[in-house]
Amino acid sequence: MATRLDGRQLAAELEQRLQTVIAERLERAGRPPGLAVLRVGDDPASGVYVANKEKACTRIGVTNHGAHLPAATPPAEVLEAIQRLNADPMVDGILLQLPLPAGLDEAPLLAAIDPEKDADGLHTLNLGRLLKGEPGPRSCTPAGVMALLAHAGIELAGKRAVVVGRSILVGQPMALMLQAANATVSVAHSRTRDLSALTREADVLVVAAGRPRMVGAEHVKPGAVVVDVGIHRLDPDPAAGPGAKARLCGDVRYEEVEPIASAITPVPGGVGPMTVTLLLVNTVASWCRRCGLDEPLADLLP
Ligand code: NDP
């Protein structure tokens, strides 16, 4: 039976660590860390995500400087809001919640965020820093995966790692982080031939394809570590009757893979909770830097 890599539990432990980091440095800093989650429009799923991030801030002592702009806000005004947050000395992290309403181009807006305040770690400069092994904010989801692997004591040096997916959000930075940890990494994508032959070579398999239940037992070498980044909302089970809740699943057929893997992340409760925690890690690390304090979170920013 595989070890369950419990993201919920590790996220709670890391929140406690962040709380301590903040409490011990608050007096020297003279102000609490600040995160601004900027939301434009009314995408319903975004509402839930933003609320989760704001609650997490409150739990650990990060001040929330968020703003919610109407869907019809012109691009120049969204840009101005970002520039105001860039200039605000109380704000250490800025996050532009995606997706944006139709008519707003995300690329120039994301590029306008001060790279030192880039809570998502996705600014071009910070992706470059990751590539070069320089310190800086890191992409939250892959950094969360690295924290889960490290916490479980999974050695990566010399291991074969396969990442399924090559997005800028997950797959690419994931591959760079695994490589920086001295794994030998292959990246698969939609044009990869004979995916299962490649994934069966993996000692560590990270799946971020965005395809519900795509990866099964035939893709996994016995004893491999399997990380499922995918998250999908399925319609409620009709057998569960009226009022049943939507179900979540990942990119991996958990019930098939769990008996042959050595460790596996569940969905929900695996990678998802770690993503929010790493947003806080980036923000608190930025606060430490900006206030001239020590850098106590470097182990979480691979
Ligand atoms: P994208 O759709 O941007 O990228 C998916 C990648 O998977 C692409 O590179 C694509 O290849 C590849 N792919 C698609 N189909 C296949 C296939 N059949 N075989 C091999 N590769 C394939 O998705 P994201 O990276 O943004 O997200 C991936 C998943 O992770 C989604 O389910 C998303 O919801 C989830 N997610 C979860 C987070 C969390 O906190 N748990 C955070 C972020 C994302 P190609 O490049 O050729 O198109």
Which of helix, strand or coil describes residue 164? Answer: strand
Q: DSSP letter string over 31-79?
A: S--EEEEEEES--HHHHHHHHHHHHHHHHHTPEE--EEE-TT--HHHHH
| Count of H-run helices and E-run strands, the chain | 10, 12
Q: What is the predicted pLDDT for the residue at 181?
A: 98
CA of 284 to the centre of ligand 1 (A): 28
CA-only gyration radius of the chain, Å: 20
- Ligand 1 centroid to Cα of residue 111, in Å, is 22
Quote the pLDDT of residue 83: 98
Measured in Å, residue 167 CA sits from the centre of ligand 1 at: 6
CA dihedral 144, 147, 153, 158 (to 10 degrees): 80
Q: What's residue 237's pLDDT? A: 80
| Long-range contacts, stretch 12-16, CB < 8 angstroms, 24+ apart | 14/147, 14/277, 14/281, 14/300, 15/56, 15/59, 15/60, 15/277, 15/280
pLDDT at 225: 99
pTM listed for this prediction: 0.97
Task: Find out whether 174 and 202 touch, Cβ atoms under 8 Å.
Answer: no
Best residue for ligand 1 mutational test, from 98, 138, 166 (most atoms within 8 Å of Cβ): 166
The reported pLDDT for the residue numbered 234 is 87
* Catalytic positions: 53, 97, 120
- List ligand 1's pocket residues with C-beta within 6 A: 141, 164-167, 169-171, 188-192, 195, 208-211, 214, 229-232, 271-272, 275
- The angle at the Cα of 114, spanning 108 to 119, to the nearest 5 degrees, equals 95
Domains and CATH numbers, the chain: 30-113 (3.40.50.10860), 140-273 (3.40.50.720)
Ligand 1, atom 22, residue with closest C-alpha: 190
Looking at residue 244, its pLDDT comes to 83
Q: Which of 193, 259, 195, 249 lies closest to 226 in space, CA to CA?
A: 259
Atom of ligand 1 nearest to the CA of 250: 32
Per-residue pLDDT of the chain (302 residues; tens, 9 = 90+): 899 999 999 999 999 999 999 999 999 999 999 999 999 999 988 998 899 999 999 999 999 999 999 999 999 999 999 999 999 999 999 999 999 999 999 999 999 999 999 999 999 999 999 999 999 999 999 999 999 999 999 999 999 999 999 999 999 999 999 999 999 999 999 999 999 999 999 999 999 999 999 999 999 999 999 999 999 998 888 888 888 888 899 999 999 999 999 999 999 999 999 999 999 999 999 999 999 999 899 999 99
